[in-house]
């Protein structure tokens, strides 16, 4: 069923098996995840009418677990955005904060969960695209450790950074959904079987934070909006009251994380999106002129402005003479961020920060200034660079009633630790 | 931070490399925005050279034939096909 807040691109239902752990549960699926026989657009006009001939691994697992998929959710085009306003199918509105964006790029998924139109949803997170909308819509979202969940059938944006993950009203439900989709897959060689990392996830949501050690990276709190910081510390107080303790930690590398993230993500995007030439699928560029003209025409028509911006910037960063200056430096920054997080997690069980440094923006506010929009990803992108798991749980609301999320980051394949910690709040 | 690093010709050149046609308005907007964004990327100069620990391992599988899409399935989303093939534009 369509929603008033434009959260679905397609509302064709997909019925799962009769029984299984998710029988009787609806799980909406982000529209960049392939569903056999049901249109999958990734929010792009390029793929309008594209019908995948196969299911993504996570969709197969949902169906086997008995879930019903009520539709494919709206998203920033190819996952490129922080507000779900770059979709070719129009922006999604935040049902938890009308007039505001739901966050992105998995904005439709978070919105249907927040509004209660789906029990749970799948999103994808390349630089915060699950955690940001979860925070903005007042629900729970988990970005799994790189390699925990198969990306087979996901329309790629930046392969080395992205993971599919759950969005749900509570940590326990998000963990249940993660348990269904996680685990090795022969179709994705980057998945890993990591000693029980995929079992007992839902059971870990027991809310026991007695003795939990929380590190708070000062760099991720200082730059945030006052109302967000206040709500963040209230949530830390709440965890302290339940037996956790916190200390401040220093992560100097994160000052460069957003820039490094965008260089790497755009570079990978420029390569990934080269496949859209209008021949095998997608909008045709016609048959006049030579193939370069035809491809350039298809891509002018099929791609929206943010996608063109990222493909061009990625092409620039990888082009002769600039590769060492940008891409190689970004890889150095990535390695540095990893080391910083690993050391901080030697001294703490989890690292906590506001998920987003700002409350949900008003619709239409941030589209004219791309750099400003990129900088809003300051707290989420370092986690993707470090390949680590993170959860966003509702921390409360600002005085204006806008949702604020708390992000908890754990060690690689330490999903149970962040699920346990997060479940003390939601 | 740095002199404007991008001019309109450079935007057109990169768009050409990326096979994306742009209209004049897009070229103008991108020229301005890219200057600002690339200036931000240049702050990566401050990043020290970092020794990268490699935990990477190759993942291998036997090279065996297995079930895959049928020809019809593979062609079903193509804008045009002919005699079981994708139909592409002229090479030159």
pLDDT at A368: 84
Residues of chain A with pLDDT under 50: none
Question: Are A53 and B92 an interchain contact pair (Cβ–Cβ within 8 Å)?
Answer: no
Q: Is B14 helix (H, G, I), strand (E, B) or coil?
A: helix
Active site residues of A: 30, 105, 129
- Bigger pLDDT: A18 vs B58: A18
pLDDT at B3 over 60: no
- Given pLDDT bands bounded at 50, 70 and 90, which one contains residue B2? very low
Q: Using one digit for the tens of pLDDT, what is the confidence trace for A319-364?
A: 988 988 999 999 999 999 999 999 999 999 999 999 999 999 999 9
Scanning every residue of chain A, which has its alpha carbon at the shortest distance from the alpha carbon of B31? A309
DSSP-derived letter for residue B90 is: B
**Residues of chain B contacting residue A50, judged by C-beta atoms under 8 Å apart:** 77
- pLDDT score, position B1: 42
Q: What is the dihedral of CA A156, A158, A160, A161, to 10 degrees?
A: -110
pLDDT tens, B25-36?
999 999 999 999
Reported as a single tens digit per residue, the pLDDT across B6-27 is 899 999 999 999 999 999 999 9
How far apart are the CA of B5 and the nearest CA of chain A, in angstroms?
Answer: 12
CA dist A264 to A119, B5, B70, Å?
34, 20, 35
Q: Is the pTM of this model over 0.90?
A: yes
Q: What are the structure tokens assigned to A203, written together?
A: 């059971």
Name the minimum distance, in Å, from the CA of B71 to any CA of chain A: 11
Subunit contact B14:A53, Cβ cutoff 8 A? no
Specify the pLDDT at position B4.
58
Residues in chain A within 8 Å Cβ distance of B59: 189-190
Q: CA of B90, closest CA in chain A: separation in Å?
A: 5
| A72 touches A29 (CB < 8 A) | yes
Query: A290, B52: Cβ pair inside 8 Å?
Result: no
Grouping H, G, I as helix, E, B as strand and the rest as coil, residue B86 is strand
Among B residues 20-79, those touching chain A with beta carbons less than 8 Å apart: 20-23, 26, 30, 33-34, 36-38, 40-41, 43-53, 59, 61, 69, 73-74, 76-79
Q: Which of B14, B69, B73 sits opposite A312 (nearest CB)?
A: B14
Task: Over range B60-79, report the average pLDDT.
Answer: 94
**Alpha-carbon distance A404 to A381, whole Å?**
18
- How is residue B73 written in tokens? 């399935």
């Amino acid at each position: 069923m369509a929603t008033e807040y434009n959260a679905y691109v397609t509302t064709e239902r997909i019925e799962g098996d009769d029984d299984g752990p998710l029988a009787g549960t609806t799980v909406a699926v982000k529209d960049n995840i392939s569903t056999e026989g049901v249109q999958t657009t990734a929010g792009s006009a390029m793929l309008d009418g594209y019908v995948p001939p196969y299911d993504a691994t996570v969709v197969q697992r949902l169906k086997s677990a008995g879930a019903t998929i009520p539709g494919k959710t709206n998203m920033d085009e190819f996952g490129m955005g922080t507000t779900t306003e770059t979709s070719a199918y129009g922006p999604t509105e935040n049902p938890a904060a009308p007039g505001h964006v739901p966050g992105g790029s998995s904005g439709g998924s978070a919105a249907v969960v927040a509004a209660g139109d789906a029990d749970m949803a799948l999103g994808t997170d390349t630089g915060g695209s699950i955690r940001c909308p979860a925070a903005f819509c007042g629900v729970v979202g988990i970005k799994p450790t790189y390699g925990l969940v198969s990306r087979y059938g996901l329309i790629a944006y930046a392969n080395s950074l992205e993971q599919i993950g759950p969005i749900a009203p509570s940590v326990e439900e998000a963990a249940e959904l993660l348990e269904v989709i996680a685990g090795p897959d022969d179709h994705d060689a980057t998945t890993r079987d990591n000693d029980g990392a995929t079992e007992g996830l839902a059971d870990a949501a027991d809310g026991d934070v007695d003795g939990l050690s929380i590190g708070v990276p000062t760099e991720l709190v200082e730059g945030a909006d006052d109302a967000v910081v206040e709500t963040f510390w209230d949530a830390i107080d709440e965890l302290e009251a339940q037996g956790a303790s916190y200390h401040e930690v220093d992560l100097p590398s994160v000052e460069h994380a957003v820039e490094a993230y965008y260089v790497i993500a755009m570079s990978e995007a420029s390569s990934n999106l080269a496949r859209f030439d209008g021949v095998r699928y997608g909008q045709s560029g016609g048959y006049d002129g030579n193939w370069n003209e035809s491809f350039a025409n298809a891509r002018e028509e099929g791609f929206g402005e943010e996608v063109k911006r990222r493909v061009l910037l990625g092409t620039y960063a990888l082009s002769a003479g600039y590769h060492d200056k940008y891409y190689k430096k970004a890889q150095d920054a990535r390695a540095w961020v990893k080391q910083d997080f690993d050391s901080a997690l030697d001294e703490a069980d989890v690292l906590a920060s506001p998920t987003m440094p700002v409350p949900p923006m008003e619709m239409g506010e941030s589209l004219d200034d791309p750099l400003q929009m990129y900088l809003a990803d300051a707290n989420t992108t370092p986690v993707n660079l470090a390949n680590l798991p993170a959860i966003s749980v509702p921390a409360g609301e600002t005085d204006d009633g806008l949702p604020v999320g708390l992000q908890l980051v754990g060690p690689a394949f330490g999903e149970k630790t962040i699920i346990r910690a997060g479940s003390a709040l939601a | 931070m740095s002199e404007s690093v991008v001019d309109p010709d450079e935007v057109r050149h990169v768009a050409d490399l990326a096979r994306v046609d742009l209209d004049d308005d897009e070229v103008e907007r991108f020229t301005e925005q890219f200057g600002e964004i690339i200036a931000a990327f240049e702050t990566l100069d401050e990043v020290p050279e970092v020794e990268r620990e490699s935990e990477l391992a190759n993942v291998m599988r036997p090279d065996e034939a297995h079930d895959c899409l049928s020809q019809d399935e593979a062609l079903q989303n193509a804008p045009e096909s002919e005699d079981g093939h994708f139909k592409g534009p002229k090479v030159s």
